[in-house]
Chains A and B, each alone.
Chain A
């Protein structure tokens, strides 16, 4: 069974006008998925934390954060073109997850 998105929840409207959404998956986010999401962007990885934390800055201006080995991650969509960027990100994510 490929990995899928099982739930998308809006977490908050940020002070600066950006939005944060939480994505939940059918399988855990492992190193392979993390690296695939980060491809083309910038990955910061903190394996020394009690549970390893990662942050990804995508070329489209999205900020993604999560804990490796958990079933979810959080995405901050910037103010400009946020709906289009959300749609594009979800398409990218679905395609990427279908391979995992």
Chain B
């Protein structure tokens, strides 16, 4: 019994130390030892950021959840390719962004398929993967995001929701710095047109 209790205490201590461990330690354990528990802790820490990003750019909670799961599974399978240059969060966001782009391509394929089926069978309109109504009850955000292009949306969300610097956005999206800056400017302009944000402050 004592041995069992000691094992339980040791396991609790290990879990507690894992919860307090810095990201670098967890990443090292996950990369070198393929430690699932360490990776689980990383998932717990970053799921909010990844899901938050994807739900805003995809505009659909269910799709964002699927893409987030795929993001973390892909991260697990690609762990050996993580070189430790830049932060883990940036690496993860890059995978999330790529998952989003893939879903867009797949969405376009699905839409084309839906259109051809519609022509053939004259059926009712199939819902598109990304064209569904955004989640209700989250202020003006979905309405604002809906007026942006996918690329602009990604850049704006990374900048204002995730707090990424321009350099980090370049790393995540692979876009040139000039394009990132112009997307942000255009996003600001659109927000001015659509919502007159900041107008009240001028008075």
Q: Do A and B bind each other?
A: no
